[in-house]
Structures are given as structure tokens and as C-alpha cells.
């Protein structure tokens, strides 16, 4: 007996095709419910696997510089480490003894070698003044080192508003324009908090200062550190390092070759010529840091970061954090295009006053664009467009109003950012009606840095609850 004739087979095939198309359509609808979080889509313009073929880097050292968009990078690291169960090297409070140089003993739960076993740390990323020798006591030498810089003119505007009550120089000045017109009328060596007022990036990177900036008329005498930095330029000179860092070869002055020229890698020897001193310092940073992001090209930097870490694009899609109301974070001012004459004058004065930061910024801006050229301009533009589309979709899905809000509209303390300085710090409020899974992901995206640090702290160091000894009553006479 023949069970399936030609007509029966045709009917069955039609039914199966209908079911298949329906499932594909419905499945696509469900997947698009939260674009950019649920899906791992390919973000390169050419066909490529959605997940990078190389293993993701998960030993990370991020130097969180001040007022440079670093809180937004920190949010990405918090979220990635939290989702993957990584262990953070955390400060007891929120900074590692800043403005003093970083010390390994300030890491919560850290035990020196031989002082007891402990799980390894994966990520070191909270505010510190960089001190490589002590960092390598905590993190493996093959960790991925990266940081972020910002145009000193834009940084000065943000720092003046944020640290006006902290820096004596800023506090005495009626405006940033007045301060930059005659900074030495307000700026005094050794005054409390005045490291925020000049060359803040250079300070955060833990670099020594040229002699003219260590005089009474120049850079202030900073708080003394038990282990002042000594630096040695490695032969790699410039570009990303492809080696592990050896603390035994990094902290002893020696004759080295940089760009084919012999020069002494000793601060004392290089003090004679500031330009040589600066170039020597920049070469040393190149030998330590694998990548330095640029705030004015934030999204481009994130794409390069994802590529360097072998992460997916979704891992670096996030919201801006610790942004001040009215700020223009991410706007490029390097070309000074569109600025008024007064703004151009202020920009020029800020760069002159922060000349070390300007040298630092120009150097890493050049290295970023060299990396972009290697990555591919068209490929980068496609990835940046995809990143921004996903960020916009996430904001619409997760956030009330789809954007950052004035803190007065944020009633949930878990998402209300810490307020400091003269400008309001914006934050986020979550939409109601999110699914449980979406709620969890949206909370990770919207949680400010201080609250997220507390969350990670509680996760790594859960409070011990001492139960009452009820048996004592039974055993007591």
C-alpha cells in the first residue's frame, strides 16, 4: 500500500514550508525585542563570524584618568566583569589613595606573595595615580594595559566646573577664562588640590615633571610618595607592546636606544632639555600601554578596544556616565572648527598652560589614527555606525525618555549618580514593564560607577553574618 502519493507529498511540503517561514518570522520578532544585547551580530562590513575567533582578553589594567570619559569605559568593564564572573582588584573605598601613587597594599583582599593564597585578579580599573611597579604586584605582567586621554582644553573646562571647590586655584578664580588669562595669579605651588589645575593627565599617568615645573614658580611640590617613580624606556620605543612587562628591567636608569638614537633614560639626565624629557616619557608610556583611547573619538576608540581585546561589539556598547549637564563629551575640538574667537583663545591658553598634557594628547591622537589606518577606515566607519545604532536601540528600550536625565528625575537611588562640583551630573531611569532578563541587563547599563563598585564589592566580599549560638543555652548549667 502506497502511503504517500505525489499530491500528498506536495501538501506535506507546503505545510512544512509554511511552519518554517512562520518560525523564522516569529523568531526574528522575538530576537529584535532587545537589539544589541540578545544578538551577537557581525559588525564588520565583510562577512565575519559574530564572535571573534581569538580568545577574549580578560586580564585588564585600565588607568582611569580624570574628566576624560573614563567613567563610561569603567561602566563597560564593570558590566563585562560582572557578567563573566571576573574578579576585580577593588579599593577599600572608591580610589586607590589618590593623589598618592598607587600601592598594592591598597587593594582589598590583596596578600603579598607568600602571604597566603588568593584567587587571581582579572581587572584593575578604579582611580589611581599610575605606579607600574606596584601594579605588577597585583596584576599579571601579560595583562592588557590601556587608558584614555582628552584634549586639555576640553578637560580644563570640565575640571574647572567639577573641581572648583577642591582646587584652591580654581576656587579663587571667578571663571576659567580669568584663570587661564593669568593662571599664576591663582595657582600656588603645593596648594591642596591644585594637581587638578594643571597637566592632570600627566599627573595621573604617574610621570615625573621637568625641573622648571618643579620650581616654586612652576608645578607644585606634590605629596611625597614612599616609592617615587623611576622609568626606563624599553627598546620597543613606540607602538603596542608585544611582550610581557618585566619589573626587574623597568625601574633602573640605563642607556637605551629610541628611534635609532642613544639617550639616557634617566630623569636627571633628561631634565636639561624638556623636549627630550617629554619624548622619553612618551616612549616609556608606549612601552607599557597596549592602547590609549581618545575621548574626542570615543566610539572609534571603543571599536579598536573591542578588536584588541577580541570582544564582541556588544561588549563595548554602553551609555555615557558621569557626564555633566551641558557638556559636549565626545565632540572633537582638535581642529577648533566652529569655535568663536573667545573660545579659540581659551583653547589655546589651556593647551599652553597644560603643555605636558597637550604633548601627551597629540602623541596618542597620532597613535590612535595610525591604528585606525591599520584597522581600515571603511571597516571602522561601518563598525562605529553599528555601535551607535545599537546604543540608540538600547537607550530607547531601557531608559525613560531614551536619554540621560537631570538627577531630580531619578528617584531610584541605585541609579542616581553622585553629585559633585557646580554642574549637575546626569544619570538614567529605567522604563517600567521590562522582562526580568532585560531588567537585569538594563540595570547593568544604567548603574553609576560608585553603586556598581559597591555591588561588585558585596559580590566579592559578602558580609559575614554571625548567627546566635542557641546551643549555648542548652549546654549552660
What's the pLDDT at 116? 54
Alpha carbon 400 to its chain's center: 25
The predicted pLDDT at position 48 comes to 42
227, pLDDT greater than 60: no
| Mean pLDDT, rounded, for 22-28 | 38
- Whether residue 473 is predicted with pLDDT greater than 80 in this model: the reply is no
Q: Does 269 have pLDDT greater than 80?
A: no
Q: State yes or no: pLDDT of 229 exceeds 50.
A: no
- Note the pLDDT of residue 234: 38
pLDDT: which is higher, 115 or 409: 409
Residue 465 or residue 345, greater confidence: 345
State yes or no: cis peptide before 466, omega within 30 of 0: no
pLDDT at 231 over 60: no
| 140 pLDDT more than 50 | yes
Q: Specify the pLDDT at position 60.
A: 98
Q: So what's the pLDDT on residue 114?
A: 56
Q: For residues 228 and 208, what is the distance between their CA atoms, to the nearest angstrom?
A: 9
Using 50, 70 and 90 to split pLDDT, how confident is the model at 2? very low
Chain position carrying cell 568593564: 77
Which pLDDT band holds residue 424 (cuts at 50, 70, 90)?
Answer: confident
C-alpha torsion angle, residues 281, 287, 289, 292 (rounded to 10): 60
Question: For the chain, how are helix, strand and coil distributed in percent, rounded to 5?
Answer: 45, 10, 45
Dump pLDDT digits (tens) for 56-97. Answer: 999 999 999 999 999 999 999 999 999 999 999 999 989 999
**Residue 299 DSSP code:** H
What pLDDT is attached to residue 21? 39
pLDDT, tens digit, 9 for 90 and up, residues 31-67 = 333 333 433 333 233 334 345 589 999 999 999 999 9
DSSP string, 106-174: GBTT---TTS---PPP-EE-SB-B--HHHHHHHS-TT-EEEEEE--HHHHHHHHHHHSTTT-HHHHH-S
- Give the per-residue pLDDT at 333: 46
pLDDT-derived band at 16, boundaries 50, 70, 90: very low
pLDDT above 90: residue 218: no
Is 70 exceeded by the pLDDT of residue 385? yes
Instruction: State the chain's mean pLDDT as an integer.
Output: 79
pLDDT at 177: 97
Q: What is the DSSP letter of 257?
A: E
Query: pLDDT-based confidence at 15, cuts 50/70/90?
Result: very low
DSSP string, 261-298: EEEE--HHHHTT-HHHHHHHHHHHHHHH-SEEEEGGGH
How high is the pLDDT of residue 276?
Answer: 87
Please give the pLDDT value at position 17: 44
Highest mean pLDDT among 120-124, 268-272, 337-341: 120-124
Among 286, 285, 287, 267, smallest CA distance to 276 is for: 267
Residue 182's nearest CA partner among 190, 172, 195 is 172
pLDDT computed for residue 248 by the predictor: 47
Q: Categorize the per-residue pLDDT at 323 as very low, low, confident or very high, splitting at 50, 70 and 90.
A: confident
pLDDT-above-90 percentage for the chain: 60
Residue 387 burial (CB count, 10 A): 22
The angle at the Cα of 293, spanning 355 to 308, to the nearest 5 degrees, equals 145
Please check the confidence at residue 178 and state whether its pLDDT lies above 80: yes
Q: Which helix (H) or strand (E) holds 367?
A: helix 355-375
- Taking 80 as the threshold, does the pLDDT of residue 223 lie above it? no
For 32-41, 89-98, 230-239, 255-264, which range has the lowest pLDDT when averaged over its residues?
255-264
Amino acid at each position: 500500500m502506497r502511503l504517500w502519493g505525489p499530491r500528498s507529498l506536495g501538501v506535506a511540503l507546503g505545510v512544512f514550508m509554511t511552519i518554517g517561514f512562520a518560525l523564522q518570522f516569529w523568531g526574528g520578532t522575538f530576537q529584535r525585542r532587545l537589539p544589541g544585547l540578545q544578538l551577537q551580530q557581525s559588525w564588520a562590513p565583510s562577512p565575519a563570524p559574530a564572535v571573534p575567533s581569538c580568545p577574549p582578553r580578560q586580564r585588564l589594567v585600565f588607568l582611569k584618568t580624570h574628566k576624560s570619559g573614563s567613567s563610561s569605559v569603567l561602566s563597560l568593564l564593570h558590566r563585562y566583569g560582572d557578567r563573566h564572573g571576573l574578579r576585580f582588584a577593588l579599593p577599600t573605598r572608591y580610589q586607590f589613595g589618590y593623589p598618592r601613587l598607587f600601592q598594592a597594599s591598597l587593594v582589598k583582599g590583596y596578600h603579598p606573595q607568600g602571604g597566603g593564597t588568593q584567587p587571581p585578579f582579572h581587572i584593575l580599573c578604579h582611580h589611581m595615580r599610575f605606579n607600574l611597579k606596584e601594579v605588577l604586584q597585583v596584576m599579571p605582567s601579560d595583562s592588557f594595559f590601556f587608558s584614555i586621554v582628552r584634549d586639555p582644553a576640553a578637560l580644563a573646562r570640565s575640571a574647572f566646573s567639577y573641581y572648583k571647590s577642591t582646587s584652591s586655584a580654581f576656587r579663587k578664580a571667578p571663571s576659567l577664562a580669568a584663570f587661564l588669562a593669568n593662571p599664576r595669579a591663582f595657582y600656588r605651588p603645593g596648594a591642596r588640590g591644585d594637581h587638578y589645575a594643571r597637566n592632570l593627565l600627566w599627573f595621573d599617568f604617574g610621570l615625573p615633571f621637568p625641573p622648571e615645573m618643579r620650581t616654586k614658580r612652576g608645578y607644585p611640590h606634590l605629596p611625597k610618595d614612599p616609592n617615587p617613580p623611576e622609568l626606563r624606556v624599553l627598546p620597543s620605543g613606540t607602538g603596542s607592546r608585544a611582550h610581557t612587562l618585566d619589573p626587574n628591567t623597568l625601574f633602573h636608569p640605563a642607556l637605551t636606544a629610541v628611534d635609532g638614537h642613544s639617550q639616557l633614560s634617566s630623569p636627571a639626565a633628561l631634565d636639561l632639555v624638556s623636549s627630550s624629557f617629554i619624548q622619553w616619557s612618551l616612549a616609556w608610556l608606549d612601552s607599557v600601554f597596549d592602547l590609549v583611547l581618545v575621548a574626542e573619538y570615543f566610539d572609534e576608540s571603543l571599536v579598536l578596544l573591542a578588536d584588541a581585546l577580541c570582544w564582541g561589539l556588544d561588549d563595548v556598547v554602553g551609555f555615557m556616565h558621569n557626564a555633566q549637564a551641558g557638556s559636549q563629551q565626545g565632540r572633537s575640538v582638535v581642529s577648533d572648527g566652529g569655535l568663536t574667537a573667545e573660545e579659540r583663545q581659551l583653547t589655546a591658553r589651556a593647551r599652553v598652560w597644560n603643555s605636558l598634557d597637550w604633548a601627551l594628547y597629540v602623541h596618542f591622537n597620532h597613535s590612535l589614527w595610525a591604528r585606525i589606518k591599520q584597522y581600515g577606515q571603511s571597516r571602522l566607519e561601518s563598525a562605529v555606525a553599528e555601535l551607535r545604532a545599537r546604543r540608540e536601540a538600547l537607550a530607547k528600550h531601557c531608559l525613560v525618555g531614551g536619554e540621560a536625565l537631570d538627577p531630580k528625575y531619578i528617584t531610584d537611588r541605585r541609579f542616581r549618580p553622585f553629585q559633585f562640583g557646580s554642574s549637575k551630573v546626569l544619570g538614567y531611569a529605567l522604563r517600567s514593564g521590562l522582562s526580568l532578563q532585560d531588567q537585569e541587563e538594563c540595570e547593568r547599563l544604567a548603574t553609576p560607577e560608585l553603586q556598581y563598585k559597591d555591588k561588585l564589592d558585596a559580590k566579592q566580599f559578602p558580609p559575614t553574618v554571625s548567627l546566635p549560638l542557641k546551643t549555648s543555652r542548652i549546654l549552660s548549667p
